């Protein structure tokens, strides 16, 4: 029985003045039991979001609140890295982090080896990671999508102790977001069946790498997810939720997406209440 997760990637949107209220509204309109909700605002809005979702009005009936995530983290613990944020600095601000998003691969030149170091730094600091992988359109058209994503996973997890990335305290330490690059912010989504096949391939790869419990790893779909398109993905038993970008800034959209995720969670049966 795998966890159901809906993560909101706000990207470079919102300010410390408005982020808290947006998070509170989204939290109060997405109180579906069994769904792990994560809001990932810009760094400077983490504290505002953390404070805004601390109240009881965002908790679901299973007691689970909204978690806060960062959108990136540096791979080193401290030092001369101007403008960067170390994992330990996120203590008290975030419990999750997005690692390896394709916009960072594209804009900051992040490669798999570096992403793997971020993953290990995050785990070392007690942060749960959403690791993003996904192919370019040319890869999909050439029939190379699974090979590309498999290579990304190998590159990112090389050197990691996979035993550290299972489930603990009722929550997974790692979720993988399959985000085909050509579907991000384009309004064009993958087909549900293709995303499901990729989710299965991702879990197979992790099991082959020796990850105990790899078959229980949550795999999310990301790329132009909306309340209208989420059903195509969550109708697939292999898909465990979504990483939502543009639509995650809209409370109506998030309400629809998490409501659909709640159906999946209910069908899978309730999890024990996580401890963090
Ligand atoms: P999008 O972004 O939903 O706006 O396509 C998804 C993501 O980048 O995680």
pLDDT tens for 176-216 read 999 999 999 999 999 999 999 999 999 999 999 999 889 99
> In this model, does residue 159 exceed pLDDT 60?
yes
* CB of 180 closer than 6 angstroms to any ligand 1 atom: no
Q: What is the mean pLDDT of residues 163-174?
A: 89
Other residues' Cβ atoms within 10 Å of the Cβ of residue 81: 11
3-state helix, strand, coil in the chain (%, to 5): 45, 15, 40
* CB of 185 closer than 6 angstroms to any ligand 1 atom: yes
Taking CA atoms only, the protein residue closest to ligand 1 atom 6 is: 245
Positions marked active-site: 101, 179
Q: How far, in Å, from the CA of 254 to the mean position of ligand 1?
A: 13
What kind and span of H or E run contains 20? helix 19-28
Q: How far, in Å, from the CA of 223 to the mean position of ligand 1?
A: 5
Taking CA atoms only, the protein residue closest to ligand 1 atom 2 is: 245
Given pLDDT bands bounded at 50, 70 and 90, which one contains residue 274?
low
**DSSP output for 148-196:** HHHHHHHHHHTT--GGGGSEETTEESEEEEE--GGGTTSS----HHHHH
Q: How far, in Å, from the CA of 160 to the mean position of ligand 1?
A: 27
Report residue 105 CA to chain centroid gap. 16
Give the mean pLDDT of the chain.
Answer: 95
> In this model, does residue 276 exceed pLDDT 70?
no
3-class secondary structure, 155: helix
* CB of 223 closer than 6 angstroms to any ligand 1 atom: yes
Which atom number of ligand 1 is nearest to the Cα of residue 177?
A: 9
Work out the angle between the directed axes of helices 251-268 and 19-28 (0-180°, nearest 10). Answer: 40
Which atom number of ligand 1 is nearest to the Cα of residue 225?
A: 3
3-class secondary structure, 131: strand
Q: Taking a C-beta distance cutoff of 8 angstroms, is the pair 68, 95 a contact?
A: yes
* CB of 131 closer than 6 angstroms to any ligand 1 atom: no
* CB of 9 closer than 6 angstroms to any ligand 1 atom: yes
For 217-243, what is each residue's pLDDT tens digit? 999 999 999 999 999 999 999 999 999
3-class secondary structure, 55: coil
Whole-angstrom Cα distance, residue 254 to residue 227? Answer: 7
Q: How far, in Å, from the CA of 264 to the mean position of ligand 1?
A: 21
Whole-angstrom Cα distance, residue 90 to residue 95? Answer: 8
């Amino acid at each position: 029985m795998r966890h159901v997760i809906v993560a909101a990637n706000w990207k470079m949107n919102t300010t410390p003045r408005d982020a808290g209220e947006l998070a509170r509204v989204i939290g109060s309109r997405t109180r579906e039991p069994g769904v792990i909700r994560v809001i990932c605002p810009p760094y400077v809005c983490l504290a505002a979001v953390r404070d805004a979702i601390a109240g009881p009005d965002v908790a679901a009936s299973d007691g689970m609140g909204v978690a806060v995530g960062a959108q990136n983290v540096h791979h080193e613990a401290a030092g001369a890295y101007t403008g960067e944020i170390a994992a330990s600095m996120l203590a008290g601000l975030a419990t999750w982090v997005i690692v390896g998003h394709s916009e960072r691969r594209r804009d900051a030149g992040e490669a798999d080896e570096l992403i793997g170091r971020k993953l290990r730094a995050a785990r070392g600091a007690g942060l749960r990671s959403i690791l993003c992988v996904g192919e370019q359109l040319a890869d999909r058209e050439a029939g190379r999508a699974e090979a590309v994503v498999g290579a990304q996973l190998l590159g990112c997890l090389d050197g990691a102790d996979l035993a550290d990335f299972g489930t603990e305290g009722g929550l997974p330490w790692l979720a993988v977001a399959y985000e085909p690059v050509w579907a991000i912010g384009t309004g064009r989504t993958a087909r549900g069946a293709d995303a499901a096949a990729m989710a299965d391939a991702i879990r197979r790869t992790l099991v082959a790498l020796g990850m105990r419990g790899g078959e229980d790893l949550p795999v999310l779909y990301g790329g132009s997810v909306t309340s209208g398109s989420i059903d195509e993905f969550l109708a697939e038993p292999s898909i465990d939720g979504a990483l939502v970008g543009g639509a995650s800034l809209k409370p109506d959209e998030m309400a629809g997406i998490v409501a659909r995720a709640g159906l999946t969670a209910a069908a899978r049966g309730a999890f024990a209440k996580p401890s963090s």
